[in-house]
Amino acid sequence: MGPICTILYRGGEAELTEKRSRFLARTVPVSSEEEAAGILASVRKQYWDARHHCFAYTLGKRRELCRFSDDGEPGGTAGKPILDVLLGAGVTGALLVVTRYFGGTLLGTGGLVRAYGGCAALALRNSVLLDVFAGERREVICSYPQMGRIKKAAEDRGYYLEDVQFSDRVRLIFVLRDEEVPGFARLITELSGGSARQNRLESLTFGMEEGKLRPVTI
């Protein structure tokens, strides 16, 4: 089973100049239309002297909500190419804004599509995307002699060990994707002869960035 979605985790920026028109693009993680509207308002305020602020955003696990705007550019030359960049990457929870300073030379329909789409693609390339999985946080309570075997076996199979706590017994806390749980449970039972206790602590959605756990809300 693959990720439930891919989100924009960290935004990026890009700049492109075409026939003296200057295009400034940025991506911003968003979780609602209201949040997107607020960010757009701040972009318009920051670049108050620019002619156009074209944008697109996607929301929902399956990108159920998509919006875009040409903001005065000819229909289909700005907002749709920006949206196509987001949809092509399969990303959600993302706002992509491209601001244009007009350089005095008309670019034509094809030129605008290439400029807006190209600058949007550069900004997304400079962003951090995160595949999001459904899973659970799970504890294993075992004896000290069992700890080493369990840790090594879990590490060999790629299970994510989040924390280790020590008292009269050892408490290991793992974060697992839903599809990993049955195999993990069998492994712990086999390694401990059934004596290690396992408990599901909570459900969560998460991604992994450079080997680090990133809990996320969708």
What is the model's pLDDT at position 218? 77
Cα distance between residue 78 and residue 76, in whole Å: 6
Q: Which CATH number characterizes residue 212's domain?
A: 3.30.70.240
Q: Does one domain contain both 118 and 158?
A: no
Comparing C-alpha atoms, which of 11, 12, 13, 21 is closest to residue 115?
21
For residue 156, the enclosing domain spans: 131-216
Cβ neighbors of 3 (< 8 A, separation 6 or more) are: 131, 132, 133, 207
CATH number reported for the structural domain that contains residue 41 in this entry: 3.30.230.30
Claim to verify: residue 110 and residue 59 sit in the same structural domain: yes
For residue 75, is pLDDT > 90? yes
Residues 15 and 105 in one domain: yes
pLDDT (mean) for 65-79 = 96
CB atoms within 10 A of CB 77: 21
Residues 95 and 164 in one domain: no
Evaluate if residue 81 carries a pLDDT over 80.
Answer: yes
pTM of the model: 0.88
Report the domain count for the chain: 2
At 2 the pLDDT is 82
The whole-number average pLDDT for the span 20-27 is 96
Same domain assignment for residues 92 and 161: no
Q: What is the mean pLDDT of the chain?
A: 95
Length of the chain: 218
Instruction: Kindly state whether residues 25 and 120 are assigned to the same domain.
Output: yes
Q: Label residue 191 by pLDDT band (50, 70, 90).
A: very high
Mean pLDDT, residues 51-58: 97
- The per-residue pLDDT for range 102-143, each reduced to its tens digit, is 988 888 999 999 999 999 999 999 999 999 999 999 999 999
Q: What are the φ and ψ backbone dihedral angles of 177, each rounded to 5 degrees?
A: -70, 155
Q: Which of 82, 104, 126 is the last residue of a domain?
A: 126
Tens digits of residue pLDDT in 145-172? 999 999 999 999 999 999 999 999 999 9
What is the pLDDT confidence band of residue 217, given thresholds at 50, 70 and 90?
confident
